Amino acid sequence: MFSKACNYGIRAMVYISQKSAKNQRAGIKEIAKAIESPEAFTGKILQQLSRKKLVESVKGPRGGFFITEEGRKMPLVKVVEAIDGDQLMKGCALGFSECSEERPCPLHNRFVVVRRELTRMLEETRLEELSDGVVKGDAFLHK
């Protein structure tokens, strides 16, 4: 459903949120290892998230990535849109450039319901909820 980059981006943001809740920063190597992602790919994803101001970084020996307390309350939809754009929430299920109520693809009417529910879930789910779930042991970030 999400791109590989978006999957890793969500995992990275959840991990960074966990660390940030403890007033700690995480480096790229640590994040990549924790989320089982290639280091270079993780770096590119974090650059993208940083440019969108979803994650912050500090350079140097005590540096790393972190998310502010306010940032931990961001809805998951912001992470998804920063990496994958809004295609999942607005695009055609079959990838057609033109798909609408007037000219629907074969999946259009069924996918409208799925898209609406997915959008609601992404808008209502906060990053801190996900990271707190991992801390409590209710969820995990790796295989």
Residue range(s) defining the domain that contains residue 101: 4-136
Question: What is the pLDDT, as a whole number, of residue 97?
Answer: 87
The CATH number of whichever domain residue 35 belongs to comes to 1.10.10.10
Q: Compute CA distances 28 → 5, 39, 140, whole Å.
A: 15, 7, 19
Question: What is the pLDDT, as a whole number, of residue 36?
Answer: 95
Residue 141 inside a domain? The answer is no
Question: What is the pLDDT, as a whole number, of residue 95?
Answer: 86
To the nearest 10 degrees (0 to 180), the angle between helices 127-136 and 4-21 is 70
Question: What is the pLDDT, as a whole number, of residue 120?
Answer: 96
pLDDT means per 10 residues, the chain with 143 residues, are 93 97 96 96 97 94 93 97 89 88 92 91 96 91 78
Residue closest to 106 by CA, chosen among 116, 94, 118, 95:
94
Residue 82 inside a domain? The answer is yes
**Which residues sit opposite 126 in a β-bridge?**
75
pTM exceeds 0.95 = no
Domain count, the chain: 1
